[in-house]
Amino acid sequence: MSAAPKIVPEVNPLFDKKLLQAFVDGALKTLATIAQTEAKVGKPHIETRLSEKCEIAGMVGMVAPPLKGTLLISFTKESIFQIMENMLGEKHTEISNEISDAVGELTNMIYGTAKTALNQMGYNFEMAIPTVIRGEFTLSKSTKGATLVIPFELKNNSAFHIAITVQT
């Protein structure tokens, strides 16, 4: 028998500032260390109806029983091309298999870094394999609950976003 659904605004871990900080730190550390790229963090916000346009994104299921969630890291072409140039010295002008591979690896590293910090705080997230989505598409969420969106901006004014959806 399952417990009654919890009320999102009262108990959802998206309101745990430490969770937010772990993903911000994970993204900043990953980009600075592996790609010598500085990013500026924008104002995080909660969206109850996520509808986001992306060009390429890495997605990973986050499981920390009893929590279930999704981490989505979406890049504009300009942002991922800049990161690729800084990280590997490669100039890209279109979304290719190499870009998809890089987005998968960046998602893996950002999640891995955040997961380690969160598990030290008492969460129990497990490692998972990222999926990469490419092409012009709009993401919409079918589940109840909220999504925490953290915007980032690179020096060339391009943007990427981290979106965390957690169900309790």
Partner 1 sequence: MFPNDIKFLVVDDFATMRKIIKKVLNELGYTNIEESDDGKNALPILQAAVSNGQPFGFIISDWNMPGMTGIDLLKACKADANLKNLPFMLVTAESEQKHILEAAKAGVSDYVVKPFNAATLKAKMERIYQRHSTPPAAKAS
Contact 114, 122 (CB under 8 A): no
Complex with partner 1: residue 26 or 69, whichever CB lies closer? 26
Token pair listed for 24: 């911000």
We find the least distance from the C-beta atom of residue 40 to partner 1, in angstroms, to be: 19
Token pair listed for 148: 């925490």
Complex with partner 1: residue 7 or 129, whichever CB lies closer? 129
For residue 63, what are the β-bridge partners?
68
We find the least distance from the C-beta atom of residue 10 to partner 1, in angstroms, to be: 30
Amino acid (one-letter) located at 33? T
Complex with partner 1: residue 50 or 162, whichever CB lies closer? 162
Complex with partner 1: residue 114 or 150, whichever CB lies closer? 114
We find the least distance from the C-beta atom of residue 131 to partner 1, in angstroms, to be: 13
Residues interacting with partner 1, by CB under 8 A? 29-30, 33-34, 87-89, 98, 101-102, 104-106, 108-109, 111-113, 115-116, 119, 127, 129
We find the least distance from the C-beta atom of residue 138 to partner 1, in angstroms, to be: 26
Complex with partner 1: residue 35 or 146, whichever CB lies closer? 35
We find the least distance from the C-beta atom of residue 9 to partner 1, in angstroms, to be: 31
CB atoms within 10 A of CB 17: 8
Amino acid (one-letter) located at 84? M
How many angstroms separate the CA atoms of 159 and 40, rounded?
9
Question: Measuring CA to CA, how many Å separate 44 from each of 17, 65, 93, 150, 155?
Answer: 11, 25, 29, 4, 19
